[in-house]
A and B are shown apart, each in its own frame.
Chain A
Amino acid sequence: MATQSLTKPTFSIYYLSERAVTIDFGQQIAEHLLDAISDFNALLHQHPFAGFCTTVPAYATLTVFFDPLAVIKSAMPGAGCFEKISGYLTNLNQQKKKSIKTIGTTVTIPVCYGGAFGPDLEELAHLHQLGITDVVKLHTSVIYTVYMIGFVPGFAYLGDMDERLATPRKAAPRPVIPAGSVGIAGQQTGVYPLQTPGGWQIIGQTPLKLFDATKLQPSLLKAGDKVVFKPINLKEFNQLASG
């Protein structure tokens, strides 16, 4: 009997549009899925097919965008683009090709907690019957994993927040949340890369730019990175913001 390799991910592929297919790795949020998606993403970038454009990794999926005109002209077996690409991706997964591991970087994000930067910190601490320093300690004591970038440019979905900080969204969203605001919504924590309206509980702000359209890599974070929050005071915030 054949034994199933533990390292080889199993997946299914579905149609998203004429220009994209989605690979489904299994509907759950788990670090081993993130690794499988990151590895396959790296492998695909090292072995692209004719007409490959780009990918979008998410919690449990990797979506592959392509140019149908180039794909249909390619020698890949299959009548249409969907068959050609599905076949290619399935083969690539079955081959024992090793991808050069992309190592996620650890990014430290300095945060000035509370005050005008974190208008919801006090209420959130009160709700959980914690002191403000406890909230900050709980928020800064975890190494967070970036599961995906989505929602707005540069917004990172972080996993593994301490459950004691889980807080529902605000009943009425704020019309304006400044860029760099650090918030909590349900089980999630994250940083607003742009000034947008939003319903998250805002506990602090970072002077770092999470998204900069003038940079070659505009998003500070990418899927697979680790994030650590570090508390700073107002003076340090201002220094970092002006530097």
Chain B
Amino acid sequence: MQIRIVKPGLLSTIQDMGRDLYLSQAVPVSGAMDSLSARIANKAVGNTDNEAVIEFTYADAEFIAETDLLIAYAGDGAILKVVDQKLPPERPIYIPAGTNIKLTNNPTGSRTYMAIAGGWDLPDVLGSKSTFITAGFGGLEGRSLKAGDQLTNIDKLSSIAQKIFDNLNAEHINYPNWSIPRQLLLPADRKSIRVVAANEFDWFDKQSIVDFFTIPYVIGQRSNRMGYHLEGAIINRVKKDELLSTAVTPGTIQITGNGSMVLLMADCQITGGYPRIAQVAAVDMPLCAQLKPGDAIYFKQINRDEAEMLYLERERDLQRLTTAVQYKFL
């Protein structure tokens, strides 16, 4: 299976679940910002969760099916369309060779993930196919996709991927009437982000902590795969100690020298010296990944046991979804 990029859109990169074995050499995790959508797209075509997918940012991208395809997409940045036919998300879609597919605007979010049966065939760099543009490695030649790029799948399909393909194979665009209901895994209130107090939580004054949990914070223009600048009430410190640079991780919220706030995302540095106020619950990082500059969010405090329980629940739910897809094609 092969596609050719006609229009890459704002930023389209190859991502998987990221690389964590080289953190001690300061190689960031990278990987899909919205790992939940990426995993659901993979599951829908019978892949394992870690196969490489395309991460599209917003819409305005376009590609051509150079062969028959079995794809799936998930996320909130765009809706896939063939002429005027809307392709439904979160399920496998068979597309015959020669079809032209456009990504059109979906105002609810910013990132969309497209998986192909077998996964996109690219070399592993440091144990992952994820693109890290800053250092120019991973994905396709360490860069974002551009017009003319051809991407092929890994030929060897899993037995479930093969079954899905055989089942949907037709002369026309074809898909099942079921989907993997991503919305059911997400909280109803997508603007409320759950956080656990970070190690330097008590370095900040009482009023700042009250503000942090009551006032909306707005995603700033200077926001990208490395981190988001959050605009809102200034956070003041009572403890003025210097923090020695130490490990940080996607989801860490740092308070910079002037009291402003940075939420670290997938491509963030692995160490930082700014005090940390909170850590976003891993289950809410997919919500953060879909935020756009100008969006307002609120922080809600949970404890570390709750964060861990939510994480384990989410993982169990995702395992059940894999089983559910397999049952459809037994």
Interface set of A (CB-CB < 8 Å, partner B): 14-20, 22, 27-29, 53-61, 63, 65, 68-69, 72, 79-82, 148-155, 157, 194, 196, 211, 213-214, 217-219, 222-223
In the complex, the 5 A-B pairs of residues with the closest C-beta atoms, listed nearest first: A150-B271, A63-B247, A219-B25, A213-B137, A59-B244
A residues in contact with B243, CB < 8 Å: 27
Query: How far is B26's CA from A15's CA once the two chains are assembled, in angstroms?
Result: 20
| Residues in chain B near residue A150, CB distance under 8 A | 26, 245, 269-271
Give the contact-size bracket for chain B. 35 or more
A222 to B26 alpha-carbon distance, docked (Å): 10
Interface contacts beyond A18-B281, A29-B244: sample of 17 additional A-B pairs, CB < 8 Å, sorted by A: A16-B252, A17-B279, A18-B307, A56-B270, A57-B24, A63-B246, A65-B23, A79-B305, A80-B308, A81-B308, A150-B270, A151-B269, A153-B28, A194-B134, A213-B137, A218-B126, A223-B24
Residues of A within 8 A of B25 (CB): 149, 153-154, 211, 217-219, 222
Question: Cβ of B241: which chain A residues have Cβ within 8 Å of it?
Answer: 27
Is the CB–CB distance between B26 and A149 below 8 Å?
yes
Give min CB distance, B259 to chain A, whole Å: 21
Give the distance to chain B from A57, nearest Cβ to Cβ, in Å: 6
Shortest Cβ distance from A216 into B: residue: B126
Q: Which residue of B lies closest to A152 (CB)?
A: B26
- Assuming the contacts A82-B304, A194-B134, A218-B25, asked whether A15 and B196 have C-beta atoms less than 8 A apart, the reply is yes
Residues of B within 8 A of A219 (CB): 22, 25-26
Asked if residues B244 and A56 are in contact (CB atoms below 8 Å), the reply is: no
Indicate if B312 sits at the interface (CB-CB under 8 A): yes
B291-316 CB contacts (< 8 Å) to partner A: 304-305, 307-309, 311-312, 315
Counting CB contacts under 8 A, is B256 at the interface?
no
B251 CB–A CB distance under 8 Å:
yes
User: In the assembly, what is the distance between CA of A242 and CA of B311, in Å?
Assistant: 50
Q: Is the CB of B311 within 8 A of A18?
A: yes
Task: With A15-B304, A69-B312, A69-B315 as known contacts, state yes or no: A56 contacts B23, CB within 8 Å.
Answer: yes
Q: Do A17 and B125 have beta carbons less than 8 Å apart?
A: no
Residue of B nearest to A53 (CB): B20
Q: Do the beta carbons of A153 and B135 come within 8 Å of each other? A: yes
Q: What separation, in Å, do the CA atoms of A60 and B196 have in the docked complex?
A: 23
The answer to whether A17 and B312 touch across the interface, beta carbons within 8 angstroms, is no
Contacts of B199 in A (CB 8 A): 14-16, 22
* B221-251 near A? 1/0 per residue, CB < 8 Å: 0000000000000000000010111111101
